[in-house]
Amino acid sequence: MIYLDYTANMPAAREALNAFVEAEARFPGNPNAHHAAGREAAAYLRDVTEGTAALLGVRPEEIIFTSGASESNSTAILGLAYAARHIGRHILTTPLEHASVSGCLTFLQEQGYEVDVLHTDRQGRLDLDELNELLRPDTVLLTLCAVDSELGIPQPVREARELLSAHPQCRLHVDATQAPGKMAFDYTLADTVSLSAHKFGGLNGSGLLIKKSGVAMEPLIHGGVSSTLYRSGTPAVALAASLRTALSITQERLDERLDTVRALNARLRKALAARPGITVYSPENAVPHILNLGVSGIRGSAMRDKLDRRGICVSVKSACSVENTPSRAVYALTGQRRAALEAFRVSLSHQTTEEEIARLIEAIDEIRTESTI
């Protein structure tokens, strides 16, 4: 099998698995419990939280461990919107957001919130002039991704933050799920930031939300005192430990791994450019791990299935989106429904080999020949 869907799930790093097993074995107590076993687990969780915060450049009390980015996005978006309901109900976002962000916004619209979706330029970056024009005294939230999962386009988060300084009532939430391991990112820029461990070599069902101290947010999960006010329940100590380990390795090896992935991406782009009828939608400024493309006359979902039958795993849109609908992200970038239907995503990692890229290109050629007969 050739796995080219690292954006959907990155295999767990051996070190992260070991950290999980070790923590699970060493700390049997519930960190919320008031006895020696509980205190030991709580102390270890504090250590893990401090280590994670240091890696991200934030304060330990700003870390909320969650079950993943979907929960982090819901916690932040709903929690910030509800906490600011007395100020206003206007929210701004981009068309490149993951379903866990756009789904929350639809849910809020049903409750009377007004949501405006900003346009992007030809490179897929949000239009900052439009953002400036649409900000109003009742705008309480701007939610955007650091880099999207379909096209891999980094967004101008710093510039957006600067514009927001004239609107102190408006909070900034950033879904940075796809940033670790793909690009450097300043985690102190936003009021809240989501991450998911399984995107950078941690385990599924584990993530975190950074919430700046002093930012008002209503919790989603209620019930009892825990390590944080914002997410009740027994903290998953071993998952947090494995997240810290995975993050540390990812950050440490970022540059070296980026070089590998850049070279693979260049090779793939060169081969695709030489083939008529193939369009690459990910712009040149996209992170090299994500390459969104389409083959003329073949639906993205059909390409995915044909590649799957040849033992190659790729995705259409993101794994959590609705099947057989055009890609909102590719439509936003191209304005073409046809492109949005033909698009599919190949995602690479430092584990990808040149042979795998060669086999992918060969398989795309086979499918194109078969489809034109």
**What are the residues binding ligand PMP (CB under 6 A)?**
8, 68-70, 98, 100, 145, 149, 175, 177-178, 196, 207, 318-320
User: Toward ligand PMP, which CB reaches closer, 9 or 32?
Assistant: 9
User: Toward ligand PMP, which CB reaches closer, 248 or 318?
Assistant: 318
Which of 78, 62, 61 lies closest to 70 in space, CA to CA?
Answer: 78
323: number of Cβ within 10 Å: 7
Could you give the CA distance from residue 110 to residue 30 in angstroms, rounded to a whole number? 38
Could you give the CA distance from residue 104 to residue 79 in angstroms, rounded to a whole number? 11
How far apart are CB 121 and ligand PMP at their closest, in Å? 20
- Candidates 104, 170, 313, 320; catalytic one: 320
> What is the distance between the terminal CA atoms of the chain, rounded to a whole angstrom?
27
Kindly report each contact of residues 44-48 with a partner whose C-beta sits within 8 Å and lies 24 or more positions away, as own/partner. 44/237, 44/241, 45/227, 45/235, 45/237, 45/240, 48/23, 48/237, 48/240, 48/241, 48/244
User: Toward ligand PMP, which CB reaches closer, 27 or 250?
Assistant: 250
How far apart are CB 67 and ligand PMP at their closest, in Å? 7
User: Toward ligand PMP, which CB reaches closer, 67 or 265?
Assistant: 67
Residue whose Cβ sits closest to ligand PMP? 68
User: Toward ligand PMP, which CB reaches closer, 72 or 248?
Assistant: 72
Q: What is the full DSSP assignment across 87-147?
A: T--EEEE-TT--HHHHHHHHHHHTTT-EEEEPPB-TTS-B-HHHHHHH--TTEEEEEEESB
* Beta bridge partner(s), residue 280: 293
How far apart are CB 319 and ligand PMP at their closest, in Å? 6
Residue pair 139/91 in contact by the 8 Å Cβ criterion: yes
User: Toward ligand PMP, which CB reaches closer, 131 or 209?
Assistant: 209
Q: Is 320 tagged catalytic?
A: yes
- How is the beta sheet containing 171-175 ordered, strand by strand? 63-66, 207-211, 192-196, 171-175, 139-145, 90-93, 114-117
How far apart are CB 341 and ligand PMP at their closest, in Å? 20
The one-letter amino acid at 173: H
How far apart are CB 369 and ligand PMP at their closest, in Å? 33
How far apart are CB 210 and ligand PMP at their closest, in Å? 14
Q: Among all residues, which ones are annotated catalytic?
A: 320
